[in-house]
Structure 1
Amino acid sequence: MNELFAPSDVTWTPVSPKLANLRRVNAGITFGVIALVAVPSLGFLLSWAWAVVALVALVAVFAWSWVLIGRNQRSWMYAEREDELLVSHGVMFRQLVVVPYGRMQFVDVAAGPLERSFGLATVELHTATPATDAKIPGLTPDEAARLRDRLSALGQAQAWGL
């Protein structure tokens, strides 16, 4: 079954481990804001016992998400073949996206403020069909630039035959 989502005839490149740290900080901010709003609101509206129960539940969900974020980060990988790019990710729901170079319309590189603070960027491939678009998060800026340039050159070279 693993061969279905990660063919062994290619060399897979994992994304940066910093991606897990970035997503954990993002989750911490989200859970922190929820806790700052929900816990006092429950305390004033219902009772402080319910506020404590809600806080314990939030901490448990945050701890569980901490583990899942690490597993998800380790599942992201990509491989460059002669005619296509393969992107695989997912733990419970695995996905393999195969993007032929000749079908790519353009390649985006994006990095939000939090990504930039962690030294990461995301490469997104766009094709004519939105369902086949692929993204690779958690790349270093140098790797994102290299991949963008390589994919753009390969896409342009192979699109001439269409």
Structure 2
Amino acid sequence: MTAEPFTPTDVTWTPVSRRLVGARLTVAACVLGPLFVGLVVVAALTAPGVWAAPAVVALVAAWLCWLVPRQVRAMAYAERADDLLVRRGIMFRRLVVVPYGRMQYVDVNAGPLARRFGIASVQLHTASPATTAEIDGLPPEEAARLRDRLASRGEARLAGL
């Protein structure tokens, strides 16, 4: 390990799919779009000072268009011999290390929007509720491959205990 806790040596990181950016921005547009339109209608029908509200919503939308791609680029995972590493975050970084022998089960999830964008999520569950790790934005084939690989590695490590 290096002095930096979020960049261990001997690790090859696998990034998540860039399609996750589109999915997250679509969710933001579904929330902010109607709000923006409603505030524009209210501002058009009332005093000129009310235009500040739609401007704030537009600024939030622009900020999300800048932030979400950066967040997705910061998300990655790495498979090592004895554990799985999951990292995320730009300002507030997070690195989760899940030993294969501690995994109880692995979920693969894909809602309607995720399926539309061709992505899925893999969620790892351990005995401790606080030690779950989730990898969003994987292509479905990679999610299935990772689920099977993690389940078999977890069984092998558990059998060795």
TM-score, scaled relative to structure 1: 0.92
Q: Report deviation, 1:84.
A: 0.2
Letter in 1 for 2:33: G
User: Residue in 2 aligned with 1:160?
Assistant: 159
User: Residue in 2 aligned with 1:24?
Assistant: 25
The percentage of aligned residue pairs carrying the same residue is 51
User: Residue in 2 aligned with 1:117?
Assistant: 116
Aligned counterparts of 1:23 and 1:32: Cα–Cα separation in 2: 14
Does the CA-based 8 Å contact 2:36-2:58 persist in structure 1? no
Q: Report deviation, 1:133.
A: 0.3
Q: Report deviation, 1:49.
A: 2.3
RMSD of aligned residue pairs (Cα, Å): 1.7
Note closer, same or farther for the CA distance 1:50–1:114 as it changes in structure 2 (3 Å cut): farther
Aligned counterparts of 2:145 and 2:4: Cα–Cα separation in 1: 28
Aligned counterparts of 1:125 and 1:36: Cα–Cα separation in 2: 40
**Aligned length in residues:** 160
Secondary structure of 1:5's partner? coil
Matches within 5 A, 1:29-108: 29-41=30-42, 47-108=46-107
Segments of 5+ residues of structure 2 without an aligned counterpart are: none
Secondary structure of 1:116's partner? helix
CA offsets, 1:110-148, max 9 Å, x none?
001010000000000000111110000010001000000
Aligned counterparts of 2:63 and 2:3: Cα–Cα separation in 1: 25
Secondary structure of 1:9's partner? coil
CA offsets, 1:49-103, max 9 Å, x none?
2442111111011000111101100000000000100001000100000000000
Segments of 5+ residues of structure 1 without an aligned counterpart are: none
User: Residue in 2 aligned with 1:6?
Assistant: 7
Letter in 2 for 1:29: C
Q: Report deviation, 1:25.
A: 1.1
Note closer, same or farther for the CA distance 1:43–1:7 as it changes in structure 2 (3 Å cut): same
Does the CA-based 8 Å contact 2:119-2:138 persist in structure 1? yes
Structure 1 ranges of 4+ moved more than 4 A: 41-44
TM-score, scaled relative to structure 2: 0.92
